[in-house]
Amino acid sequence: MTSLNTRWAIARLEAFVEAVEQYNSLAPTIPPTAENNEKKRKMESASVAAEKILDRIIPTWRTELKTGMMDNVWSQRKEFCVRAIEEIQMQNEFDANLGDNAPSLNANQLHDWVWEAAKPLWMSGHFSEAVRAASVVVNARTQDKVGRREVSESDLFAQAFTLDAPKTGAPRLRIMENDGSKTYQSIHQGAAAFARGCYAAIRNPISHTVHEQISEHEALEHLAAFSILAKWVSRAIVEIAPSNDATK
Which sequence spans correspond to the domains of the chain?
6-98, 107-239
Q: Which helix (H) or strand (E) holds 14?
A: helix 6-24
Count of Cβ atoms closer than 10 Å to residue 47 Cβ: 20
Q: Check residue 30 and give its pLDDT.
A: 86
Q: Which helix (H) or strand (E) holds 164?
A: none
In degrees rounded to 5, what are phi and psi of residue 174? -115, 115
CA 171 to chain centre: 30
Q: Give the residue from 84, 110, 82 showing the smallest Cα distance to 3.
A: 110
Q: Is the pTM of this model over 0.75?
A: no
What is the Cα–Cα distance from 226 to 196, expressed in whole angstroms? 11
pLDDT at 42: 96
pLDDT of residue 245: 55
- Amino acid 240: pLDDT: 96
Cα–Cα dist 117/204, whole Å: 17
pLDDT of residue 100: 60
In the chain, the amino acid numbered 134 is A
Question: E strands, 14-146, where?
Answer: none
pLDDT of residue 247: 47
Name every residue whose Cβ is closer than 8 Å to that of residue 220 and which is 6 or more positions away in sequence.
105, 107
235/242 Cα distance (integer angstroms)? 22
CA 7 to chain centre: 24
Q: What pLDDT score does 2 carry? A: 47
Specify the pLDDT at position 103: 72
Q: Which 3 state secondary structure label does DSSP give 237?
A: strand
Q: According to the model, what pLDDT value does residue 210 have? A: 65
> Digits of tens for pLDDT over the chain (248 positions)?
446 788 999 999 999 999 999 999 998 888 989 999 999 999 999 999 999 999 989 989 999 999 887 788 999 999 999 999 999 998 877 777 776 666 778 888 999 999 999 999 998 889 999 999 999 999 999 999 999 999 999 999 999 999 999 999 999 999 999 999 999 999 999 999 999 999 999 999 998 876 678 998 999 999 999 999 999 999 999 999 998 654 44
DSSP string, 166-195: PBTTB-EEESS---S-HHHHHHHHHHHHHH
3-class DSSP state for residue 90?
helix
